Structure 1
Amino acid sequence: MAQVFATLLLLDVALVMIALVDCLRADESAIRTAPWAAWMFAILLLSPIGAIAWFVKGRPVPAVPLRPRPVFVAPDDNPEFLKSLADRLGQ
């Protein structure tokens, strides 16, 4: 039972540390819903709820998506595939 509590405590400390570093590195003008100092107090005093709230409601939204989603085109709708198929068949 002590190992479970130690593991939960370690996870809580890790989550709070990650949230604090993320909050410190965030641009103050981009932080949502509350000022920077309020988020710092919430993360430190309301552990782990404050850290979870930071990631859900306070963290700045990235301006650009990390990866664009690939557009899937079915082979029968892809003109390049149809042309290569026709070339392979000798037409």
Structure 2
Amino acid sequence: MASVYVLLLLLDLALVIIALVDCLRLREDEIRTAPWAAWMFAILLLSPFGAIAWFVKGRPVPKVPLRPRPIFVAPDDNPDFLKSLAAAIREGDPDR
């Protein structure tokens, strides 16, 4: 039973250290919802809940570059297609 407590203590210590290092490496304007010092106290004093709260509410949201979506234009909205269709109708092309 003592080994379970030691394991939980080590997991808590690792979580707190990771949260502290993560919080220390950020600038004040990158942190969400609270100032830097408040997060430091929360991580240290409210272990492990402060560290969990840091990862949920304090860390900045990663900026994922948005890929441009391919633009699909329906044939009846495509001016080039409509021009070619009108030309084909005028010429009497039966394939169009």
TM-score by length of structure 1 reads: 0.69
Residue in structure 2 matched with residue 80 of structure 1 by the alignment: none
* Paired AA for residue 8 in structure 2: L
Task: Give the percent of matched residue pairs that are identical in Structure 1 and Structure 2.
Answer: 80
Larger Cα Rg: Structure 1 or Structure 2? Answer: 2
Higher relative contact order (CA 8 A, sep 6+): 1
Q: For structure 2, list consecutive stretches of 5 or more residues without a partner in the other structure.
A: 68-96
RMSD: 1.2
Residue in structure 1 matched with residue 59 of structure 2 by the alignment: 59
TM-score by length of structure 2 reads: 0.66
Length, aligned pairs only = 66
CA distance in 2, matches of 1:27, 1:64: 19
Q: For structure 1, list consecutive stretches of 5 or more residues without a partner in the other structure.
A: 69-91
Verify: 1:11 aligned to 2:11, yes or no: yes
Q: Which runs of 4+ in 1 moved over 2 A?
A: none
